[in-house]
């Protein structure tokens, strides 16, 4: 083999090597890095795209919030709508859960309202749209929901213990008032506390529901509440008080 042929082979091999190095470099810089969305169990994940550096695998097992009850009330010439939503998950809740109602007639939207609420783990959430025009009571009602990300609350529900004391019902000119005191039995500050009052029939049907914003409730603190009902209780009526505490703050 002549020296010229050897020289050509060396030059060719050199350029082939340069091309190979360039191809490998491109492959390295364009290679998809492991992520929580690549459909592969890698980078220390406990499952496919979950656990380890990714969101907990439990997130993908959670059940969607369930609408348990939709009820319309006709009170003193206005319409109230109650929507009861159940969080079926004992360990995760929602800081942002939107409920939108649309009152429609023949597919024409006549009224639209929206509320954003939190839902604690395992909570049965009462959402009330109050003082709507009574003329819409017999129209169609559509409900749309939208949730944010599932998160664990800062306070576990079993750490909250509230007691109701000196509860009584009185009457003023226009309303019936359920009043009493709320005691925080734990040495734990609570924020965004609301008290729901339910007026029930002897068959536990909800006849009326109202609420009272208590605000914050300090450790072992006692506060007074007053809940106004729009209808008259009967001798067989029952009352139920439900605390609603934001566990995410």
Q: What's the pLDDT at 54? A: 87
Burial 38-76 (b: 16+ CB within 10 A, else e): eeebeeebeeebbbbebebeeeeeeeebeeeeeebbeee
Q: Report the alpha-carbon distance of residue 245 to residue 146 in Å, rounded.
A: 21
**Residue-by-residue DSSP string for 149-178:** -EE--SS-GGG--EEEEEEEEEE-SS-EEE
User: Across the 249 residues of the chain, what is the mean pLDDT of every consecutive 10-residue run?
Assistant: 66 73 66 73 83 88 96 89 97 97 94 97 97 93 96 93 95 88 96 95 92 96 94 86 95
Contacts of 197 by beta carbon, 8 Å cutoff, 6+ apart: 178, 209, 210, 211, 212, 227, 229, 239, 240, 241, 242
Q: What's the pLDDT at 147? A: 96
What is the sign of the dihedral through the CA atoms of 103, 110, 118 and 61?
A: positive
Q: What's the pLDDT at 9? A: 67
Q: Report the alpha-carbon distance of residue 16 to residue 68 in Å, rounded.
A: 70
* Structural domains for the chain: 3-58 (no CATH), 64-151 (2.60.40.10), 157-246 (2.60.40.1620)
- Give the single-character DSSP code of 50: B
Q: What's the pLDDT at 146? A: 97
Query: Is the pTM higher than 0.85?
Result: no
Q: Report the alpha-carbon distance of residue 224 to residue 211 in Å, rounded.
A: 13
Q: What's the pLDDT at 231? A: 85
């Amino acid at each position: 083999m002549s020296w010229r042929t050897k020289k050509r082979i060396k030059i060719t091999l050199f350029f082939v090597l340069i091309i190979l190095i360039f191809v490998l470099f491109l492959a390295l810089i364009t290679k998809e890095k492991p992520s929580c969305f690549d459909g592969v169990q890698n980078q220390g994940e406990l499952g496919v795209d979950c656990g380890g550096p990714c969101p907990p695998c439990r997130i993908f097992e959670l059940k969607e919030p369930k609408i348990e009850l939709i009820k319309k009330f006709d009170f003193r010439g206005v319409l109230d709508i109650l929507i009861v939503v159940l969080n079926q998950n004992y360990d995760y809740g929602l800081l942002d859960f939107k409920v939108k109602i649309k009152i429609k007639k023949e597919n024409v939207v006549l009224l639209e309202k929206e509320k954003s609420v939190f839902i604690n783990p395992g909570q049965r959430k009462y959402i009330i749209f109050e003082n709507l025009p009574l003329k819409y009571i017999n129209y169609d009602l559509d409900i749309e929901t939208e949730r944010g990300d599932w998160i664990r609350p800062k306070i576990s529900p079993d750490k909250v213990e509230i007691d109701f004391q000196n509860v009584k019902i009185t009457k003023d000119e226009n309303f019936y008032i359920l009043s009493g005191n709320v005691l925080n039995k734990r040495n734990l500050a609570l924020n965004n506390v609301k008290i729901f009052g339910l007026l029930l029939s002897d068959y536990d049907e909800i006849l009326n529901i109202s609420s009272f914003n208590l605000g914050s409730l300090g450790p072992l603190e006692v506060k007074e509440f007053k809940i106004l009902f729009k209808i008259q209780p009967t001798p067989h009526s029952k009352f139920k008080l439900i605390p609603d505490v934001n566990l995410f703050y």
